[in-house]
Structure 1
Amino acid sequence: MCSSLKGQYEISEEIGRGRFGTIYRCYDVVSGNPYACKIIDKSLLTDETDQQCILNEPKLMSLLTPHPNILTIHNAFEDQHTLSLILDLCLPLTLLDRLTASTVTPFPNACHVITQLLQAVSHCHRSGIAHRDLKPDNILFDSRDVLKLADFGSAEWFGGDGGSLMTGVVGTPYYVAPEVLMGREYDEKVDVWSCGVILYMMLAGAPPFYGDSAVEIFESVLRANLRFPSRVFRNVSPAAKDLLRKMICKDPSRRISAEQALRHPWILSGGESETAELT
């Protein structure tokens, strides 16, 4: 462990474990404030892509903070063997855990979550960064139940308005946009697609595109046949369905942006809109 890290933070118990390292609770030795310390074992980064992702993550996160809905990186330490990141301390349960524990999310709660997520994504896009791996696993909450977007290992700098398009198949089967799977160049609206899928899952308790294997899920995503089964969506407002159609739109040129989604009537109504005029 880096000596300068030990001089500034007291490392406490393990609170999580990932592919490349371990997350500990830690405390600032001067202020006593609690944080999370993500210690990455660099010997596990055998693939060049993995190395690039891990090294890019703190750089991109530092460009995005502070923002109330993005996990803040407070410090970073590196030595020959490890990379250690000091991050906001969040609750142990992710949005995925919440979805697993409950079949559907009440409409106002779903709206509150997706609004915070869209605010984080909109800030990323204004800063010229696409997350590219939005999923419930990467959505955390702090002790005040404020959403914190995490895990920028697959994020990419595209340069903002008029910036460059991106390439590369990244993301997670249920949430990845079809243009990524097609091997085309794509823009930051891949994140809006993923947000739409997350909202659908909160309202329906199941993903819009599914299969028994990754290949079958990808085929379903590529068909992009968005359905609203009456058994599940009978109580979901037309405004919510309209927002989902505009976010989970196969044609990226017709898909709304994160900023536009934040101005949608269903979002502005707090998830209660049954009669809001749709635009």
Structure 2
Amino acid sequence: MGCGIGKVLPEAPKGGYVSVVQSLVAFSRACDDDNDDGPKKRRGLGFSTGANHRPPASNERRPVLREGPRRDQAAKYKDKFDARVTARYDIRALIGRGSFSRVVRVEHRATRQPFAIKMMEVEAPEGREVCASELAVLRRVSHAHVIRLIEVFQFPRRVYAVLELATGGELLDRVVSRGHFTERDATVALRMVLAGVGHLHNLGITHRDLKPENLLYYHPGADSRLLVTDFGLATFGGTGSGVSGLDGGGGGGGDCTGGDGGWSLRTTCGTPEYMAPEILLRKAYSCAVDMWALGVIAYVVLSGSMPFEDDSRTRLYRSIVRGKLSFRGDPWPAVSHPARDFVQRLLLLDPAARPTADQATRHPWVATMAAGSSARNLHRSISQNLRQRASRSSSRCPSSAAGSSGGGHRRGPGGDKEPGAAARRCSQTVPGAPPGASD
């Protein structure tokens, strides 16, 4: 895989809503000693749901993974679940699947609270490495805007990660469905994302696959929190010390640098349209790649279009490496200069010049929640641009692509009828390190 493999695992939490069954280190040793023969999985990217490890407070219900319509398929996976898991959780519906995993919606038998369980096949070394890496990250994070891991059951062949269940939908789906969207609404969403990403970076974690599909709302209400999810490509490293990129200095700023002050990463991975130029150029990189992705997300949220897009992967990469932004077309003439400045600062080619998450939160446009910006409703233009992109994507991508084993394909809650979901069907997560490069 090359993405987040072989890291030292943190100590498992010792308390909370439910305890971790056993440490991942002990599990890995048990797997190494297991000589049971069985079918091996092909090397590939596992379906990642994202979650973090600390449980919600006793009076709090925080979902974190989308529900799916495939309830009828859940029964055949129920038999694969260990009896010690089904003794505590009722299997309700299949949510998604990947190369090494299946994700189902479940209910806790005692509380009837909904959760998601990600069942990961770890018999093959690749699957075990992916599992170890992801759980190592999830067990460290605890933040209101990052999803949570509730409980882990570990056995020689499979690991069952119990995750929170998000029911509020993806970021762009919310933008489309609400019917009214202004720059202030954009800053509200971005502030929550920046808070979650800042927490990750302060822990020394680089996400490496930030995109609207991985930003989910906790519940359907207007006051829902927005959560950073999907840690399948996340890894420890790429952080250090530096100088601000927003406050007038050069150098990478805060806990995230693009220079030599931090632990540099080298693996080529991510979702094409959101990958930073330094990744494409196969240079050593830092968590500043997440800030680039946030710049792309901000551009999409404000306009419904992509800053860099092309049917040809080669031309797309060339466009990203050049980094020339265009603010042409509707609704950009109505978008304020502070909003454009925010996007431009995040999409700087020099990673050392990009702001950190904490500094981006202090940008005047975000800090004032677009107080001096136009209150124009951008919804119509955003929706129209998303529909146009959905139409182009539908003509390029076969319908069978959605829901494939690759981690990047996902179908939104409304399927192809939702412009937000359909427009993103071609955004595959692309693993694969260049020769001699690894984290």
TM-score under structure 2 length normalisation = 0.58
Check 1:238–1:192 CA distance in 2 against 1; reply closer, same or farther (3 A cut): same
Pick aligned residue for 1:15 from 95, 100, 103 = 95
Deviation per residue, 1:109-163 (Å, 9 max, x gap): 2211111111110000000100011111211111153111111111110174353
Task: Give the deviation of 1:35 after TM superposition.
Answer: 1.1
Alpha-carbon separation, structure 2, partners of 1:11 and 1:92: 21
The alignment-based identity, stated in percent, is 31
Aligned in 2, Cα 1:37/1:194: closer, same or farther, shift over 3 Å? same
Higher mean C-alpha displacement, 12-21 vs 135-144:
12-21
Whole-Å separation in 2 of the counterparts to 1:9 and 1:92: 22
User: 1:36 maps to what in 2?
Assistant: 116
**Amino acid of the residue matched to residue 102 of structure 2?**
T
CA distance in 2, matches of 1:100, 1:62: 33
Match runs of 1:257-268 below 5 Å: 257-268=356-367
Structure 1 residue 274 displacement after superposition = 2.9
Other-structure match for 2:85: 5
Report the AA paired with residue 203 of structure 1: L
1:179 to 255, 261, 278: 278
Q: Which has the higher contact order (CA 8 A, sep 6+)?
A: 2
CA distance in 1, matches of 2:288, 2:191: 16
Structure 1 position 183, deviation (Å): 0.7
> Could you tell me which amino acid in structure 1 is paired with residue 230 of structure 2?
D
- Give the residue type in structure 2 aligned to 1:156: T
Q: 2:146·2:228 contact (CA, 8 Å) conserved in 1? A: yes
Of 138, 141, 160, the match for 1:61? 138
2:171: which partner in 1? 95
Q: Matches of 2:372 and 2:349 in 1, distance apart?
A: 25
1:70 — aligned with what? 146
Q: Which residue of 1 aligns with 2:292?
A: 193
AA in 2 matched with 1:109: D
Q: TM-score, normalised by structure 1?
A: 0.88
CA deviation string 1:244-271 (max 9, x = no partner): 1111111111111111000111111223
Which AA in structure 2 matches 1:53? V
- 1:121 alignment partner in structure 2: 197
What residue is the counterpart of 1:222 in the other structure? 321
Unpaired runs of 5+ residues, structure 1, are none
Equivalent residue, structure 2, for 1:233: 332
Distance 1:105 1:173 in 2: 27
The corresponding residue for 1:52 is: 129
* Cα contact 2:238–2:286 (8 A) shared by 1: no
The residue number in structure 1 matching 2:379 is: none
Query: 1: distance between equivalents of 2:180 and 2:312?
Result: 24
Aligned to 1:157: 236
Is the 2:172–2:301 contact (alpha carbons within 8 Å) kept by the matching residues of 1?
Answer: no
* Stretch moving more, 87-96 or 233-242: 87-96
Output the CA distance in 2 between the equivalents of 1:249 and 1:256. 10
Residue identity matched to 2:101? G
Match of 1:248 among 328, 347, 361: 347
Shift of 1:240: 0.5
| Equivalent AA in structure 2 for residue 57 of structure 1 | E
Consecutive unaligned residues in structure 2, runs of 5 or more = 1-80, 241-260, 375-439
